Amino acid sequence: MPRAKGGSKSRRRRKKIFKLAKGYVGGRGRLYRSARETVERSLAFAYRDRRVRRRKFRGLWITRIGAAARLSGLSYNQLIRGLKQGGVELDRKVLADIAVSDMPAFSQIAQFAKAHLSPIQNS
């Protein structure tokens, strides 16, 4: 039985890896095994860091909302609790954008949240 080398399939697989390894220095961009290892690692980092980016943005939004809430005389958690009790469904991304770009509107939102805060019962 003749030896099957893979031919076009193998070439296509290698070309795909080398295309992703474009710009890598030394053997990482020229040698198939090194290129494949580096590309697989970089794809894993890219996948992980897309999630990390979302996590970091949420933290940034919370910081911005908290700072703006302090200017309105509320803490972050009081603001969020008041908005939830008032039935407002603005997410943190939108609230942070309003806090940065339109402070008068944010102070109205904070006043709404303050009005809907239920008094804490001491028991």
Please give the model's pTM, rounded to 2 decimal places: 0.75
Q: Calculate ∠ Cα 112-95-57, nearest 5°.
A: 150
Number of domains in the chain: 1
**Residue range(s) defining the domain that contains residue 19:** 9-115
Answer yes or no: is 80 within a domain. yes
The rounded distance, in Å, linking the Cα atoms of 104 and 3 is 76
pLDDT at 121 over 50: no
Structural domain includes residue 18: yes
Tell me how far CA of residue 39 lies from CA of 7, 78, 79, in angstroms: 22, 46, 45
Closest CA to 88 of 71, 65, 70: 65
Q: Find the CATH number of the domain harbouring 45.
A: 1.10.1900.20
Question: Residue 4: inside a domain, yes or no?
Answer: no
What's the rounded Cα separation, in Å, for the pair 21 and 23?
Answer: 6
Write the pLDDT tens digit of every residue in 60-117. 999 999 999 999 999 999 999 999 999 999 999 999 999 999 999 999 999 999 999 8
Give the per-residue pLDDT at 63. Answer: 97
Residue 32 lies inside a defined structural domain of this protein: yes
Inside any domain, residue 1: no
The answer to whether residue 38 is domain-embedded is yes
The share of the chain scoring above pLDDT 90, in percent, equals: 85
| pLDDT the model gives residue 120 | 64
